[in-house]
Amino acid sequence: MKPTETRLDKHLITEEPYYLSSGREIEIAISAHKNCLPLLLKGPTGCGKTRFMYYLAWKLQRPLITVSCHDDLSTSDLVGRFLIRSGEAVWTDGPLTLAVRAGAICYLDEIVEARKDTTVVIHPLADDRRELPVEKLGELLLAPPEFMISVSYNPGYQSVLKDLKPSTRQRFVAISFDYPSPQQEAEIVCKEAGVDKHLAASLVKLAGMTRSLKDSGLAEGASTRLLIQTGRLVLDGIDIHTACRAAIIDPLSDDPELLAALQEMVSSIF
């Protein structure tokens, strides 16, 4: 077995991840894959973008290579670099090159966090050329039809300084994610956290209230992920008020007045 194959094995998703579809996003993504089109997922934190990618990778039976972008991410971090091993310079593929070679799905999470000059490297891969020039090797890799590039970002919370360049934007098929409908969200919380339906519905109600505080100074309302985490704490025997405080209220804000208001919501619901 080649080293590349061993590395890729870890990225193959063997068990079906839980994903509740709320529209035609699966259909669109599969069609995009079939037509060799790149995918752009946008939506608030914790609404299921990453889970969707896991589900898609499982559905397509392709390895999923995820890169969490940050502002120190360089082109070499994506494409690869020479490393010194026992006095010799050895080339090591970066996650993007690895994905192109293996026809995997490369998922760049929170792409706006990366600097604009870094994101430009995906341009030739994201249009009909579907090629990745590896300058240091003097190689031009052509992506196989199974390869897919997918990026995600949160349009609500990043600053205007961190917006996607139009030239990057206009290469993708975009799927917009939002929090699921209350019924669906309760179903997700129920299934993921293992709590009863009533508690799940109450947690979703609380999340709804926090989300409407966006204009009152709360950067973002409680995500589905936070609700699941709260559910898990409750299931472990922690009382609901403490669990909400620890897993919903405190992570959301540091502002004492907003915290107090959120606490009042919890005490009203539970």
Partner 1 sequence: MKLPLLTERFYKLVSPDIPNEWDVEEVLEPFIDKSDTFCKEIFTHIPVIWPVSHSLCYDFLRLLPKTLDHLSLEQIPHWIGIILDHYETHGLRAAQRFMQDDLTRYLSQLHGGGGLGFTSIEKRLLPYIRGVAGTELQLRKNRVSYTDSTTIFVPEELEFSSRRDINFLLYKFILTFQWGFITQGSFITTAPPDYSHTQCNNDVLWLRAFLDEFKEPQLARDIYHCLESIRVLVFLNQELPGLMRAAKQHIFPQLSASLNNHPLRPLQQVLLTENSEQDSVLKKILSKSSTQRYLNGQASTDDSLKLTADLFFTLQKSGTDYCPISPFPFQGALRLQAVENARKIQNQKLEENFVDLMAAYLHNHSLQEASNHTNENRQNGYKGGLKDTDISVILDSELTQAANQEQPSPIVICLDNAQMKMPPELQECAQNCFNEFGHFPTQFISSAAGKAGHAILENEVQETQTKESAAQKDTILYDEWDYRRQGYRKNWCTLHFKNLPPIHSPFVQNTLNKYRGLTIRLRRQFEMMRSNERFMKRQRDGDDIDLDALIESIADSHAGISSSDRLFIRLQRNERDIAVLFLVDQSNSTSGWVNNAIKESLLLMSEAMEVLGDRYGIYGFSGMRRSRCELFHIKHLDEPYDDKVKERITSIVPCEYTRMGPPIRHAISLLKDVDAKARLIITLSDGKPEDYDDYKGKYAIEDTRHALLEAKTADIHPFCITIDHQAKDYMQHMYGPANYIFIDNVRKLPLRMSEIYRILTS
In the complex, which residues of this chain contact partner 1 (CB under 8 A)? Answer: 74-76, 81-82, 84, 87, 89, 115, 136, 159-161, 205, 208-210, 212-213, 215-218, 257-258, 260-262, 264-270
Enumerate residues 6+ apart whose C-beta is below 8 A from 239: none
The span from the CA of 77 to the CA of 263, in Å, is 43
Tell me which H or E stretch contains 180. Answer: none
Q: What are residue 259's phi and psi, to 5 degrees?
A: -60, -45
Q: How far is the CB of 155 from partner 1 (least distance, A)?
A: 16
For 206, the token pair is 């609380």
* CB closer to partner 1, 75 vs 223: 75
* CB closer to partner 1, 31 vs 216: 216
Nearest to 143 by CA among 159, 153, 160, 128: 128
Q: How far is the CB of 159 from partner 1 (least distance, A)?
A: 4
User: Positive or negative, the Cα torsion across 11, 85, 69, 36?
Assistant: negative
* CB closer to partner 1, 1 vs 84: 84
Q: How far is the CB of 9 from partner 1 (least distance, A)?
A: 25
* CB closer to partner 1, 64 vs 222: 222
Q: How far is the CB of 64 from partner 1 (least distance, A)?
A: 25
